[in-house]
Amino acid sequence: SGGSDGIITNTEWSNAYSTLQTVDVQWVVPISSDPSIHAMNDSHCKFASDIMQKERRGIVGMAVGTTDLAAVTAAKALNSDRTSLVHLGFYDYDANGTLTLFPPYILAALLAGAFAGSSPGTALTNKSIKVRGLERDLRNPTDTDQLINGGVLAVENTETGYKVVQSITTWLTNDNYNRVEVSVGVALDYVARTVRNWI
């Protein structure tokens, strides 16, 4: 009671990522819409995967009200096979039972949880997510194709529920499935970990 969240600095985020190097996790989601933290998260995932042999992936989320164009620009800046980006918030009930708009970085956490709870190599493409609504509805394919081609993991409102359009990373350099499709990359991470444990 009477406390405050205070101000979290990039130095504190950096210290948290340094500490996270000592933990063997597979999914990292920063609860922040700050692009500099997204870049830090991506660098952490790359370093842990390439140097430490502790393969991990990240999903980051933009701020509420992010336009499709801004999301594509942010995805292009990341351009990573280790990081996915979402840009829509979602509606659900908060702890008080009030219907609330949660920011996209909370959707990122929801999707990371879905990946973590699935068998390695399982795609979220066309899978339903349990939310009460999306910040706004995308037109498929008019909006969704543009987002997917720009490296944004899009979600949509369909007649049969709220769904992931395609579970992709922000990788734009080529169309190699192991870099673009999250599920394929995760399957390769799983194989690498398994083989390393046999040796």
Per-residue pLDDT of the chain (199 residues; tens, 9 = 90+): 777 777 889 999 999 999 999 999 999 999 999 999 999 999 999 999 999 999 999 999 999 999 999 999 999 999 999 999 999 999 999 999 999 999 999 999 999 999 999 999 999 999 999 999 999 999 999 999 999 999 999 999 999 999 999 999 999 999 999 999 999 999 999 999 999 888 6
Q: What share of the chain is helix, strand, coil (3-state, %, to 5)?
A: 40, 15, 45
Q: What is the pLDDT of residue 175?
A: 96
Q: What is the pLDDT of residue 197?
A: 83
Burial of residue 2 (number of CB atoms within 10 Å: 0-12, 13-18, 19+): exposed
Q: What is the pLDDT of residue 102?
A: 98
Q: What is the pLDDT of residue 98?
A: 98
Q: What is the pLDDT of residue 87?
A: 98
Closest CA to 38 of 86, 1, 101, 2: 86
Q: What is the pLDDT of residue 188?
A: 96
Handedness of CA 18, 64, 135, 157 (dihedral sign): negative
Q: What is the pLDDT of residue 4?
A: 79
Is the overall model pTM greater than 0.85, yes or no? Answer: yes
